Structure 1
Amino acid sequence: SLPGTAMASTCLVPHCRDTGSWADSLREVSGAVLVSGLIQMVLGVSGMCGWAAWHCGPMVLAPSLSIIGLSAYKEAAFFCSTNWGVALLLMLLVVTFSQHLWSCRLPFCAWPHAWEGSTESSVPTLRTFSVLLPFAGVCVVCTILSYFHIPWESLDPAMAQLSWANSTFSAPWIRIPYAGGGTAGLRAAIHVWTGLVSPVPFPSAAGEWRWPLLTPRALAVGIAMAIGCSMNSVGCYVLCGRLLRVPRIPPHACNRGLCMEGLGSLLAGLLGTPGGTASSIANTCATGLTQAGSRLSVQVSALVCMVLGMSPRLAGLLTHIPLAVHGGVLCVTYAVAVGTGISYFQYTDIDSGRNIFIVGFAMFMALLVPRWFGTALTPLATGWVPLDLLFLSLLMVPVFLTGFLSFFLENTVSG
């Protein structure tokens, strides 16, 4: 393997399998990503995504968006626990810039800006950069503390070892991935603006990981991935429009968006990645905090992602972002999703016993069922492993349970 990626195949957890089985398993995961992309493209081309989004009323959107935010509290708490001081500092700065100083305009940051038919000489600078500036500032503080060898981050041995294994200082600056010939260095799923990154080290021997492996298990997981990602993406589309106070997104726009996400997952599966493309709740909520609803920002972020994807060494720098920073960003962004979901209750008769039951039952079961499956002593067993994986993959996703239950009850319970 390439220098800097030798630890990619080292077992970091007990009872892990050998390298060959590990590579075959990841090929199978890539096959699931490929299947997911194909199904998402079918859902977009057929118009089913837009139809479903258009028929989701406030009684479906309110609990679904709320549960999207609430379902991330465990991960946010885990990341923040590495250093609550750093996480709280980032949250304090984001809240101050986006809420208290949102109307502040700096004279040296003035440029023409058209919004809703009016032309302003400048934009609310601190609100526009209310996520980027705190993120950069806190990262600088953490870098200074690390430079002077001041202990500030508490990591368990597994996380510390993983951070060292993902080091890519000796990786090449440029590496072009291609299908079927193995991919090198470090490919990362990057959420621009928030700094969220999920690094995945890849072996680099040519041909070590070849084309995706399609099996019944990959097909089952791919179907579940497509359903979950599609529901999450539709929620992002609705959430973004709500936060930017624009008219409801038309069905054809939802269909185009899902088609592009499916195409991205299709390419990701062909390149051997263990993860596809989907809309980011954190990015959407960051858009609400900054009110930077510009297509140019999305295009720039996409270009940056492409550059980082072709440079293992640059992408490796993202693995050094402290977990506490991730946790702070999750706290402020997913809180926006919860609040937006609650705001949809104003369009419903919340005093109705029927509506109270639908909302409460859907949200409670969405939190209960994944918890039950996660702690159950006896796993789900239907006698066929692919079917078990399909059910578990769907029933462990809170947004699927909330959306399905609320949509079903809304259209079947009279009142």
Structure 2
Amino acid sequence: MNGGRGRAPGAGSPMLTSCSSQKMCSWVMSCCLALQHLAVQTSLLCIFHLLLLPTLPQEPPHAHTTSKLLARSLFACGISTVLQTTLGSRLPLVQIPSFEYLVPAMVLSSHLSPGASTDRNGTAMASTCLVPHCRDTGSWADSLQEVSGAVLISGLIQLVLGVSGVCGWAARHCGPMVLAPSLSIIGLSAYKEAAFFCSTSWGVALLLVLLAVTFSQHLQSCHLPFCAGPHAWEGTTEYSAPTLRTFSVLLPFAGVCIVCAILSYFHVPWESLDVTMAQLSWANSTSNAPWIHIPYAGAWRWPLLTARALAVGIAMAMGCSMNSVGCYVLCRRLLRAPRLPPHACNRGLCMEGLGSVLAGLLGSAGGTASSIANACAAGLTQAGSRRSVQVSALLCMVLGLSPRLAGLLTHVPLAVHGGVLCVTYAVAVGTGISYFQYTDIDSGRNIFIVGFAMFMALLVPRWFGMALAPLATGWVPLDLLFLSLLMGPVFLTGFLSFFLENTVSGTLEERGLLPEQPWKARAGDCHLHGERGEASQAYKLPAGLRRLLPSSCKAFPCCFLCPGSEEEEEGSCATEEGTAGPGEGTHLLPKPSSGELQPAIRPSQTDMPAWHTVA
């Protein structure tokens, strides 16, 4: 996954060059990658709604209503994805309602319903009242209305965090000792959901996992004749893309769904659904759903803003902000892109906030956040393209306009969703572990910080999930706030590791903060001017928008959302001076382990990540 930059296109670099010379073929590749992103996004959206809707008071909504809810989420996620890739961080990140929205929403809905429900592990519980003085508001619609209010509040808070520069400041102070446990827990936090959905049919889930692992790892160098042909002006043949690795998620996803459809057609039993699973099944969900329904603010109900919604919204914003920063780092590392500057982090969080505000106004049950699963899928397939993500966003908006088409997505077998979680979130765990190489992991200080943060992040949510009434501060909104935060493993890991890393004394070498560390770029390092120039080019706003901005972005809030004039000049100079011919080195870098010098070869334009060059 961390292959050298000098490899041939398609062998180890994340870009796709097999169709770069033919416009039509490039669009074919982008559309196929967009379908792959849509498949992963569909699994996460279905998982979110399947786990949340049974926790609503009284009877869950009817099948055609769930199709409308899914359509509204798809529409909001599509718009948020376009904003993220165009005006936000500019990384090829798909937007979905993440698990950091699911846990607080389930806490709020279970507080409103004293009846039976399902916990986050999917197991049935006799009572889900996690705070004292639970009461029933009367219907699932009222509860969903209050959840939408919490989503709206979380979006507004994320906007404030992005505009004020808090997100970029926090990202700059997150070293390897914060990133390693945080990314690892982000991946491990989905193991319960993965096991829950895989249990419907372990054979189907294992088949998907086996195919994905085989295509992405064992057959990663297998080149099939896909969109290859001679150059009209060069007379040379263009290499084909590593098709099996590039579509190592889409091909297993589609193949397993086809196999399940064939088995169902011949009435071959392959799925075992218990009582809990039967309640989650969305059979015949498209029978009464309309073909066309244009979502707009207040079409269903306006979000309900209460003290409970405010408390849960704060927890949603804090958890999703930490998840998003981790997703930015994860995507950047998997695609071997330049280090993300603070202003790109701030813009990304602002766009996610706008998407969550839109989702709340549309009546969605979850906001929008960067998809860990899609970022991991891009790293697994080594195919990251901004254009393909934007095409998938357009497909989401089209599906969001048709609840009948959106309802068709609910016919995907539940075990397929579990298999997708197994394949994608495993990459996040491995990426987090890879950050330990930059620290002194033999240090007692580091061993304690990592072990304590990760263990408590898994222990505390489990304890609160098992306890009947663990919190009783005397004010219900405060109970909901603490409970929503303490049941989020990502928040606990990020908070504990950040606090201990910055309060427990340790040397820079011990913490992995030496200037020559390859993951860290400091201002003033001459050998990193080229990387800063690449970052300036990769994460800068579109040219048309930059012309509308003032020449010097020093006024609030532009100072936190776009690079200053000094940074732009430095980046442009670095780009000009750092350009070298193929095979030429421009600087000599000292190895971190010794004083020897080694050449640092800057990647040429063709070696830039596809998410930057293609778009």
* Secondary structure of 2:370 counterpart: coil
Structure-2 residue corresponding to 1:245: 336
Q: 1:81 aligns with which of 188, 191, 199?
A: 199
* Secondary structure of 1:242 counterpart: helix
Which range moves more in the overlay, 261-270 or 243-252? 243-252
User: How far is 1:26 from its partner?
Assistant: 1.3
Q: Distance in 1 between matches of 2:183 and 2:66?
A: 39
Please say if residues 7 and 166 of structure 1, whose CA atoms lie closer than 8 Å, have aligned partners that are also in contact: no
Structure-1 residue corresponding to 2:425: 334
Alignment RMSD? 2.5
Please say if residues 180 and 270 of structure 1, whose CA atoms lie closer than 8 Å, have aligned partners that are also in contact: yes
Q: Distance in 1 between matches of 2:474 and 2:224?
A: 65
Structure-2 residue corresponding to 1:5: 64
Q: Which has the higher contact order (CA 8 A, sep 6+)?
A: 1
User: How far is 1:211 from its partner?
Assistant: 1.0
Q: Distance in 2 between matches of 1:271 and 1:111?
A: 47
Within 5 Å, which residues of 2 pair with 1:10-89?
20-89=138-207
Structure-2 residue corresponding to 1:201: none
User: How far is 1:237 from its partner?
Assistant: 0.5
Structure-2-length-normalised TM-score? 0.59
Q: Distance in 1 between matches of 2:206 and 2:399?
A: 29
Q: Deviations over 1:228-258 (max 9, x none)?
A: 0111111110000111112211111111111
Shift of the 3–226 alpha-carbon distance from structure 1 to 2, 3 Å rule, reads closer
Structure-2 residue corresponding to 1:129: 247
**How many pairs were matched up?**
381
Please say if residues 65 and 289 of structure 2, whose CA atoms lie closer than 8 Å, have aligned partners that are also in contact: no
Shift of the 413–7 alpha-carbon distance from structure 1 to 2, 3 Å rule, reads closer
User: How far is 1:388 from its partner?
Assistant: 0.4
Q: Distance in 1 between matches of 2:183 and 2:297?
A: 36
User: How far is 1:374 from its partner?
Assistant: 1.0
Structure-1 residue corresponding to 2:371: 280
Q: Distance in 2 between matches of 1:170 and 1:87?
A: 30
Within 5 Å, which residues of 2 pair with 1:196-275?
210-275=301-366
Shift of the 272–99 alpha-carbon distance from structure 1 to 2, 3 Å rule, reads same
Within 5 Å, which residues of 2 pair with 1:131-210?
131-164=249-282, 167-182=285-300, 210=301
Q: Distance in 1 between matches of 2:358 and 2:230?
A: 39
Structure-1 residue corresponding to 2:407: 316
Q: Distance in 2 between matches of 1:252 and 1:413?
A: 29
Q: Deviations over 1:291-333 (max 9, x none)?
A: 1111011101111111111111111111111111111111111
Structure-2 residue corresponding to 1:108: 226
Shift of the 150–97 alpha-carbon distance from structure 1 to 2, 3 Å rule, reads same
Q: Distance in 2 between matches of 1:276 and 1:171?
A: 23
From the CA coordinates, give the structure whose radius of gyration is larger: 2
1:362 aligns with 2:424: no
Report % sequence identity. Answer: 86
Please list every run of 5 or more consecutive structure 1 residues that lacks an aligned counterpart in the other structure: 114-118, 183-209
Structure-2 residue corresponding to 1:187: none
Please say if residues 82 and 155 of structure 1, whose CA atoms lie closer than 8 Å, have aligned partners that are also in contact: yes
Code of the residue aligned with 2:222 in structure 1: it is: C
Q: Distance in 1 between matches of 2:62 and 2:369?
A: 31
Q: Deviations over 1:120-141 (max 9, x none)?
A: 6322111110100110000000
Q: Distance in 2 between matches of 1:229 and 1:3?
A: 29
Shift of the 3–20 alpha-carbon distance from structure 1 to 2, 3 Å rule, reads closer
Q: Deviations over 1:67-122 (max 9, x none)?
A: 11112111111111111111111111101111111111111333799xxxxx9632
Shift of the 373–15 alpha-carbon distance from structure 1 to 2, 3 Å rule, reads closer
Which range moves more in the overlay, 12-21 or 44-53? 12-21
Please list every run of 5 or more consecutive structure 2 residues that lacks an aligned counterpart in the other structure: 1-60, 70-114, 118-125, 129-134, 232-236, 507-615
Please say if residues 226 and 240 of structure 2, whose CA atoms lie closer than 8 Å, have aligned partners that are also in contact: no
Code of the residue aligned with 2:492 in structure 1: it is: L
